[in-house]
Amino acid sequence: MIFGTPVSWFLFEVLSVAVFLAAVIHAAGRTKAKQHILVMIAFVIYAGAFENIGVWQNIYDYSTDRIMMIGKVPLSILLIEAVTLYCALWLAEQLRLPWWAGAFVAGAIGSLQDMTVDPSNVFDIHVIDGVASGQWNWTMHYEGGFFGIPVFNFSGWFTMMLYFALFVGLLDRLGERKGRSWLITGAPLLAIVPSLLVLVSPINLVLLFGWDALQGYGLLAESVMLALNFGVAIFLLFRYAKWDKPLDLKLDGVLLALPVIMHLWDIGLAFAAGIEEGYVPSLLFTAIHVALLAAVLRAGLRANAASREVDAGVQAA
């Protein structure tokens, strides 16, 4: 135990702070720096509010034996979620996706990241004061879930990031059209309330639970909706992505590295702690995410080379 929390939980908190600070430092060097930083801060507030609602509704609970908490929710998971969103939105920009399509792709990437986070961390179980607890515990579950996790959880990550990204994008465009710099900068903070309202609305219930929305939890309906949500995002990715934007690897390489670092933590935790539920998902979904990041890296480097050839031709002429 370190400061009253299990060692692996403490290290997860350290990891969350480290990746969050790395993302903030990157955001500080970009155009619209204040807005990018506020995206992460506002998302922590937004996700924290929603996660506390989930605890209040007894859908899941978190052990409070942590150093950093927001209400009943560990700050560490909120920081990881915010960094995941920030990296995903950057990737959507790198692929020059329309802002609304980028929101769907960001949601899918967030869900993909969580497919290694949840199985490893939920079953990172420690006994504290005679009570066995994972980093978080599902109180509502069923047989045959996703490696021990309810399937709707992954659509939940998808929609939580989707709504927030959509409202930030909408408010940002409105600010640009009206010439209101305060609206552009403050879009992430202003997006919190409408995003939360949609998140607790019947619309979200349908996207999570499908035809079982009014009856509760169901493996088949949730699996169909998860596949549908991913299907829409994948279609938009292939329909609108443009793989021709040069990549400043020195500046943006950190945003390719951060998702991998978070996945590697999940892989390391699963195998070091003998968490069998985490073996397959941590390796499989890390490989899928890394393949996407590698494709973005390759496309960016090819665009760099093409740009240099054009510049050389202009100089020669």
pLDDT in tens, 185-228: 999 999 999 999 999 898 998 998 887 776 767 888 899 999 99
Q: What pLDDT, in 10s, does the model give residues 128-142?
A: 777 777 788 877 666
pLDDT at position 33 is 93
Q: What pLDDT, in 10s, does the model give residues 90-100?
A: 999 999 999 99
Lowest-confidence region among 4-13, 169-178, 232-241, 255-264: 4-13
pLDDT at position 178 is 85
- Phi/psi of residue 69, nearest 5 degrees: -135, 145
Residue 108, C-beta contacts closer than 8 angstroms, at least 6 positions apart: 158, 229, 230, 233, 234, 237
- Report whether 146 contacts 176 (CB < 8 A): no
In this model, does residue 102 exceed pLDDT 70? Answer: yes
Beta bridge pairs of residue 60 = 138
Share of the chain above pLDDT 90, in %: 60
Residue 310, C-beta contacts closer than 8 angstroms, at least 6 positions apart: none
Top-confidence residue, 216 or 62: 62
- Report how far residue 97's alpha carbon sits from residue 237's, in angstroms, rounded to the nearest whole number: 8
- Report how far residue 23's alpha carbon sits from residue 296's, in angstroms, rounded to the nearest whole number: 18
pLDDT at position 317 is 54
Split at pLDDT 50, 70, 90, the class of 310 is low
pLDDT at position 99 is 94
